[in-house]
Amino acid sequence: MQREIDEAFVERETPEDFTIDNDKTANWAIKKIKEEQEEHDRLQALINDERQELQAKQEEIDKRLEAKTGYLKSLLLGYFATVPHKETKTQASYKLLDGSLIFKKPSLSIVKPDDEQLLEYMERAGREDLIETKRSAKWGDFKKTLTIADDGQVISEDGEALDFITTEEKAGEFNVKG
């Protein structure tokens, strides 16, 4: 019987020619949806496996690059220390025909502390000018007090029509669970 329904579905020129008008064809459609979902899941698992393999290969070629160039870079650093190089506040460099040797000087940067600790310090130090205060409406709480009239108008708990709040229709959603 399954085969007959499969053939009936495939023989149709367009999907619109096929109808589900009884439990047997509805159950067949659910089976087809399950098959497609299983195929999707199988392919998704394959993609995830491939992604993991590619990530491992990326790490491998990065390590290979470091292994093959690390020694030469250490030799170049030693050479760099013996030649006169151009210095700026943040780096030192030495030009050659096929490239440049560049040493970026170490530096310190300020790391943002925990927001709560920072706020406590600002308050203690009297730096209210550096404290941000935001006012915002509690929309979630307010929304619970509203109702929608038959004409779509939003009404407050006092009965006031709120013209500045609009409504939108959400489409119904149909799902098949197997």
Give the pTM.
Answer: 0.47
Pairing, β 99-104 against β 91-96: antiparallel
Q: What is the mean pLDDT of residues 37-46?
A: 96
Separation of alpha carbons 171 and 131, rounded Å = 44
CA-based R_g, the chain, Å: 34
Classify residue 135: in a domain, yes or no: yes
In this structure, the answer to whether residues 66 and 20 fall within a common structural domain is yes
In this structure, the answer to whether residues 64 and 9 fall within a common structural domain is yes
Q: What are the Cα distances from residue 64, in Å, to 55, 61, 161?
A: 14, 5, 70
Q: What is the mean pLDDT of residues 129-152?
A: 92
pLDDT of residue 124: 94
Domain range for 27 = 2-83
In this structure, the answer to whether residues 65 and 123 fall within a common structural domain is no
Classify residue 136: in a domain, yes or no: yes
Number of domain units in the chain: 2
Classify residue 17: in a domain, yes or no: yes
Cβ distance 142 to 164 under 8 Å?
Answer: no
